[in-house]
Amino acid sequence: MKFNAVVAGVGMTRFGKHMDRGLKSIGAEAVRAAIADAGMQNSDIEAAFVGNAAAGLVTGQECIRGQVILRSAGIGKIPVINVENACASGSTALNQACAYVSAGLYDVVLAVGAEKLYHEDKRKSFAAFSGAVDVEALEEIMNRLKSAAKDSGAEKAAGGAGENRSMFMDIYASAARNHMKRYGTTVQQFAKVSAKNSYHGSLNPRAQFREQLTVEDVLAAPMIAEPLTRPMCSPIGDGAAAVVVVSERKAAQLGLTSPVRIISSVLHSGWDHGPDEGGSLELCASEAYREAGVGPNDLSVVELHDASAPAEITGYESLGLCGKGEGGVLIDSGATWLGGRVPVNTSGGLLRKGHPVGATGVAQIVELTEQLQGRSGDRQVQGAKIALAQNGGGSIGSDAAAMCVTILVR
């Protein structure tokens, strides 16, 4: 489907550890900010899609998460569609909001992503991630990860998954070891991703972590699951983001002076495919590029799902920013830093901005909209015109369970 939605306003909270705030408070803050940024009133919103992945497990809020958040912001009556799609919950909510506007069903639709992951009982937080795989095959998955870790001599990765860390760090660690073995990618290159994103995050007042790290700092940090040290792993977090999308007709009525258009948003799930066959990310990227009429070389800035540092390296390759196996070389070249050919994760990415799961996909759109409008301050990409967001989540077999790629233009 050809998308033709216009971003009228964006808003988000600072991501972080908000033990004194609930999902309603966090979500309402982002909603109010987006509506104010659009110059609208609550009464202008005609429908809403609200992404959240883990409230049922962490807070106990089920069934009506979006309605609860929106009512706390003073919004009722309208259709509210709750979206749960693992780490891609937020981008899926945005995808659907844009589809409704592009199809002409509504002129003004709100997309929200909100998550509350910090809890006094850390096991509840980690359980939210363990539920993002086929739970009937969970024991088999855990045994396979432990076996692979032992075979490669990864002592830390051989135990503790899902207990003192998200099991997804073990999935990423296993993929990282395979990438190193096959392509010669180094631990230093993974560390360079974390150092880069820490620099970008240090410039972002809404980032969860703002301390700037060197490659040496990253390598010296505690080991989580070989080869991943702590700064190579995205943290859990609390936060929310919201975007008001409107039709072209409504954009003209509003007289938007610096419109950002979402011209492609492609959503797929993973499937059983061969080890050397492109997966859900490659499929989403190729369709998004085709629908938008652009290619990787046209991109000005990218927000990529760096749930781990190796995920950014492989993301470069899957998005066509470089060839297969060349992600390590790309980070070494400086091309993905601010000032480089195609800056990636100017927000600090999931590694430093944080990863409140359901909020991440919408937060990426907030960052890219502000970049395209020249509102990003010290981390501004000069002359940014075309942006791409990639957000995926869950794991089935050897692929993500949900994947979304969105392209924005100014």
Catalytic positions are: 87, 355
| CA distances for 297 relative to 89, 273, 397, angstroms | 28, 28, 31
Q: Say which residues have a Cβ less than 8 Å from residue 184's Cβ, sequence separation at least 6.
A: 325, 328
Q: At what angle do helices 187-202 and 309-318 cross, to 10 degrees?
A: 100
Q: How many CB atoms lie within 10 A of CB 1?
A: 12
Q: What is d(CA 292, CA 298) in angstroms, rounded to the nearest whole number?
A: 11
Q: Say which residues have a Cβ less than 8 Å from residue 402's Cβ, sequence separation at least 6.
A: 85, 86, 87, 88, 92, 267, 268, 269, 270, 280, 392, 393, 394
Angle at 403 between CA 141 and CA 266, to 5 degrees: 160
Q: Say which residues have a Cβ less than 8 Å from residue 147's Cβ, sequence separation at least 6.
A: none
Q: What is d(CA 327, CA 323) in angstroms, rounded to the nearest whole number?
A: 7
User: What does the longest C-alpha to C-alpha distance in the chain come to?
Assistant: 63
